[in-house]
């Protein structure tokens, strides 16, 4: 690695510290929420939360993404390296979040314990193992992209490669949102989507819903799409077609 590459190297140690801190902070906020609404411990079926609190939680999630994105933007100067920084930070943050919950609450009981993962645009649910797999994949992608960039073998991601990875991410998102999506569609709540948190019929269904089976098949297809996109990049680098 030449001197120029060393000077341009992203400070991943600083990113790691930032992501770890965010992971602990996120876990602490969730602990407060659980103390208020799940004093006996978090589990399905869910307890109904006030509509204003759900809105606040959505804003918190948006702020979390903006923080991760802003740090990635400030860390690097090219789109590829900003993407690498974002993927690395996101992956570390999410894994540490569960590590912190385990340390503070001794939760989850196992990697197959179900959790609420996200609320945008609808509720994401799945076993803890699934988001951890996604986070590990994000970190792997960041390492590969950064390594190839520093050795001057990769400057950008081609359209086809990017499309495969985006399609994979969309498929994974579908696996996470399928259950709640079906609740909304079958219940006919889509026409009044933004009032769902205040709909007594939906809240009744929500507070009796217990997930039983995660769509690992759909999830795996999404992972394979992403790996295919990564494979296209690796193949292009090996063939020296920058």
What is the model's pLDDT at position 2?
Answer: 46
**According to the model, what pLDDT value does residue 7 have?**
53
pLDDT for the residue numbered 111: 97
Q: What is the pLDDT of residue 125?
A: 97
CA angle 154, 158, 162 (to 5 degrees): 110
Cis peptide before 2 (omega within 30 of 0): no
Q: Residue 116 pairs with which residues in a beta bridge? A: 125
Cβ neighbour number for residue 206 with a 10 Å cutoff: 21
Residue 127, classed as helix, strand or coil, is strand
Residue indicated by tokens 């992956």 = 91
- Start-to-end CA span in the chain (Å): 18
Dump strand ranges (E) for 91-195. 114-118, 124-127
Q: Please name which of 161, 129, 133 lies closest in space to residue 145, comparing C-alpha atoms.
A: 161
Return the closest-CA partner of residue 18 out of 71, 63, 64, 60. 71
Provide the H-helix boundaries in 110-215.
129-150, 159-187, 200-206
pLDDT in tens, the chain (242 residues): 444 444 567 899 999 999 999 999 999 999 999 999 999 899 999 988 888 899 999 999 999 999 999 999 999 999 999 999 999 999 999 999 999 999 999 999 999 999 999 999 999 999 999 999 999 999 999 999 999 998 888 999 999 999 999 999 999 999 999 999 999 998 898 888 888 888 889 888 888 999 989 999 999 999 999 999 999 999 999 887 65
């Amino acid at each position: 690695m030449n001197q120029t590459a060393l000077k341009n190297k992203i400070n991943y140690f600083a990113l790691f510290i930032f992501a770890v801190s965010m992971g602990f902070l996120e876990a602490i906020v969730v602990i407060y929420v659980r103390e208020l609404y799940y004093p006996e411990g978090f589990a399905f079926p869910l307890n109904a939360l006030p509509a204003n609190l759900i809105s606040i939680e959505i804003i918190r999630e948006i702020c979390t993404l903006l923080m991760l994105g802003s740090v990635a933007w400030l860390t690097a100067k090219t789109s590829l390296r900003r993407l690498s920084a974002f993927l690395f930070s996101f992956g570390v943050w999410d894994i540490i979040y569960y590590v912190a919950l385990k340390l503070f609450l001794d939760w989850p009981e196992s990697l197959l314990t179900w959790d609420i993962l996200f609320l945008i645009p609808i509720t994401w649910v799945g076993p803890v193992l699934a988001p951890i797999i996604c986070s590990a994949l994000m970190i792997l992608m960041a390492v590969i992209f950064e390594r190839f960039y520093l050795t001057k073998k990769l400057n950008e991601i081609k359209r086809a490669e990017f499309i495969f990875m985006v399609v994979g991410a969309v498929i994974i998102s579908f696996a996470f949102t399928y259950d709640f999506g079906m609740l909304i569609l079958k219940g006919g709540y889509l026409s009044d989507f933004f009032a769902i948190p205040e709909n007594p019929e939906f809240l009744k269904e929500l507070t009796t819903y217990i997930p039983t089976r995660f769509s690992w098949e759909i999830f795996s297809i999404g992972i394979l799409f992403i790996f295919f996109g990564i494979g296209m990049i690796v193949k292009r680098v090996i063939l020296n077609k920058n």
